[in-house]
Amino acid sequence: MVVNIGGVPVCLRTRDPTDARTLAERYAACLEPSAPPGAFELEIHLAPSAQPAGPDLPRPKRGGSSRRILRPAASARRGGPK
């Protein structure tokens, strides 16, 4: 599968079907039909997580020709409580 975030296409490869489904769901908004010549290629193996995936994790989002990584508000704040 090819994920394009910020205009950088990256071909993600995995031999694990569960990892492939997880990656496809996580990056659904940024998938491309094919990799251009010279695209980065990464072999992916997802390590088991102590935390379940949820809405508080960063998510890629496509809007027209732009792509963004959305972070939850709590993790995007700077500084401590006032």
Question: What is the four-CA torsion angle of 12, 15, 19, 24, rounded to 10 degrees?
Answer: 40
Please measure the distance between the N-terminal and C-terminal CA atoms of the chain and give it in whole angstroms.
44
Q: What is the pLDDT of residues 56-66, one digit of tens each?
A: 666 666 666 65
Question: What are the sequence ranges of the domains in the chain?
Answer: 2-46+59-73
What would the DSSP string read from start to end of 5-59?
Answer: ETTEEEEEE-S-HHHHHHHHHHTGGGEESSPPTT-EEEE--PPP-SS---TTS-E
Q: What is the pLDDT of residues 31-53, one digit of tens each?
A: 998 988 888 898 988 877 655 55
Amino acid at site 25 = E
Whole-model pTM above 0.85?
Answer: no
